[in-house]
Structure 1
Amino acid sequence: MENLQTEVLEIEFTGFSHSFKTISDLDFAEILLRYTDFDRNTKKFILKRVKRLTDHSDGITFEQFKHFFEFLNNLEEFSIAMRFHQLSNKPISQGEYYNIIVFV
């Protein structure tokens, strides 16, 4: 099943990358907005904002793209891990946050 998901992600990524190694932040935002029910004006507003804020970005590699969607597939586990940490009443460091993301 994991290979199928990777292949589907590769097809979607390649459609936006046009055989380059990265996609733009704007392309990534467009991919994410496909799965929302925002109206057209809201999507246009979001895309304008993304374009304005990410003009100097190096883009998103396929590995980053894949990791993001793997994270989304494990969002429930991430939420549980964050909830347990919250119950400990301790602040979370950047390193601990990173460890949770890597674990999930």
Structure 2
Amino acid sequence: MRIRKLQNDIADSERLGMQVKFMHLSALTPTSREQHIERHGELFTGQQMLDWWAEGDNRVRCRCACTPVLLDRQGKPMTPDLIANAKQALKAFKLS
């Protein structure tokens, strides 16, 4: 389901001509894998997200998600606070 939603989001952004990247959101739970945690709050292209989930066992028991982030004409996120909040959550998780 998560992959299908990502594929639909990619198709929609292309159809509408909107520049987007996808922010990786780790569940940030005690059982989260380190490589999943480290991606939290980072932006990736849709294809990079699909490729990552296709590698090894990244999809197995994964509770991560991703959300589209609109980019301006310079390729910068239009919602920098969203990314800052995710980074803050990651920092708090690492301190706990």
TM-score per shorter chain, which class?
under 0.3
More helix by share: 1
TM-score by length of 1: 0.25
Of structures 1 and 2, the one with the larger relative CO (CA 8 A, separation 6+) is: 2
TM-score by length of 2: 0.26
More strand by share: 2
